[in-house]
Amino acid sequence: MPSKGIALVTGAARGIGKAIALRLADDGFDVAVNDISANSEALAKVVDEIETKGRAGSAHVADVSLDEQVRGMVEQVVETYGRLDVMVANAGIAGIIPVAEMTSDKWDHVMDVNAKGTFLCYKYAGMQMIKQGNGGRIIGASSIYGKQAGGAVNFAYTASKFAIRGLTQAAALEFGPHGITVNAYAPGAIDTDMLAEVATEDNPHQAIIESFKKQSPLGLIGVPADIANMVSFIASKESQFITGTQISVNGGTFFD
């Protein structure tokens, strides 16, 4: 199958990002994947899986919170493939920190990775797509908590995901005249390592899963493929009339 285009997915060594990268490869995209250096081995395995599907893949280690590294990552992708058609700014961190323990440094870290990292991905992908002159798809990772605060002790995370709502709308306005759509997905609870890592002795992983299942009228917790299925459509040409939205994929735990 001829390539449908070039996609770049950040935070793709595991979880939702990995599922999106593999789904876009199944859809016919060549896929560049990014993660931090600590996850470079897992990232290389994702590239192997992309190549096994008969598509080109490449790993681009970068910290999305750093301007120079995001600029360099997009440049590398364009050097490798000649263009960029789909940017999925998926990388994010949880930052479940009670107010008394929240310091300015911890606040900055969550905002730097989640909000600034998404802004930088939108910026450098948008500039490249404008230069190419034939549109594109930019997709960010918001959250159910980017629509309404919920759960406890995660106000930096909530603020960072609300920021993604704002910058997705603003970027949709600025990039729209160039035929570039900008949308975000807003997952409810998805069973990934991120969820496992916020578990504590008092609130173990299985208890978190059960409590999220109870919040869904379907009695379900999400899996990474649930988000990848949505991103597959938003990345496609058929989604051309959808922009500036944060699309809920949450099993009915919150209606907006």
Which residue ranges make up the site for ligand NAD (CB under 6 A)? Answer: 10-11, 13-17, 34-36, 39, 63-65, 90-93, 113, 117, 141, 143, 187, 189-190, 192-195
CA–CA separation, 181 and 160 (whole Å): 21
Q: Quick one: DSSP state of residue 235?
A: T
The nearest distance, CB 51 to ligand NAD, in angstroms, is 20
The nearest distance, CB 34 to ligand NAD, in angstroms, is 6
Enumerate the active-site residues. 157, 161
Q: How many helices (H) and strands (E) does the chain have?
A: 9, 7
CA–CA separation, 184 and 94 (whole Å): 17
The angle formed by the CA atoms of residues 184, 189 and 191, to the nearest 5 degrees, is 110
Structure tokens at 72: 């360099």
Helix (H, G, I), strand (E, B) or coil at 88: strand
Residue 132 or 216 with smaller CB distance to ligand NAD: 216
Helix (H, G, I), strand (E, B) or coil at 165: helix
Residue 17 or 126 with smaller CB distance to ligand NAD: 17
The nearest distance, CB 179 to ligand NAD, in angstroms, is 26
The nearest distance, CB 160 to ligand NAD, in angstroms, is 8
Phi first, then psi: give them for residue 71, nearest 5 degrees: -60, -45
